[in-house]
Amino acid sequence: MLNSKQIFGKKSESIAVKHLKKKGYKILEQNYRTKMGEIDIIARDKDVIVFVEVKARRSDRFGNPKWAVTYKKQRKISMAALQYLKAMAQSNAGARFDVVSIDSSQDTPVVEIVKNAFELAYE
């Protein structure tokens, strides 16, 4: 059984998927898990594979959610992305990292896509 935080996370990811589709992204995977980490959404935007981290907040108490992707999180996403590209024989494909920020402090959530939110981090 999911707790309220998990329910909010699932709902936020659903909002992100709908928004990405509306913007022309083709969803390839959701909740892609590896030993290295998890990627919320893997999509295709034209000829680029996009690894998407969804960040949502119920209030602005801790700031805008788009700033919540730490270097440690970027590193985990990067390692999982490299593993995905290798597994799918797409090592030479164009790729980028986007963040979908969802501010749910209002009645209608405010959704923002931050393209190229960070670079590959694998030190």
Arithmetic mean of pLDDT, 18-30: 96
Q: How far is CA 20 from the centre of its chain?
A: 10
Residues 52 and 98: beta-carbon distance below 8 Å: yes
Taking alpha carbons only, the member of 79, 80, 116 closest to residue 96 is: 116
Query: 91: pLDDT confidence band, cut at 50, 70 and 90?
Result: confident
Supply the pTM of this predicted model: 0.89
pLDDT at 68 over 80: no
CA angle 70, 6, 16 (to 5 degrees): 65
Across the range 48-77, mean pLDDT stands at 81
Domains of the chain: 4-118 (3.40.1350.10)
Q: Which residue has the tokens 């509306």?
A: 22
pLDDT band at 90 (very low <50, low <70, confident <90, very high): confident
Residue 84, pLDDT above cutoff 90: yes
Report the distance separating Cα 83 and Cα 55, nearest Å: 22
SS3 52: strand
CA separation, residue 74 to residues 26, 98, 107, 108 (Å): 22, 11, 30, 28
Question: Which residue type is seen at 78?
Answer: S
Region 84-95 average pLDDT: 88
Whether residue 65 has pLDDT greater than 70: no
Percentage of residues in the chain having pLDDT higher than 70: 90
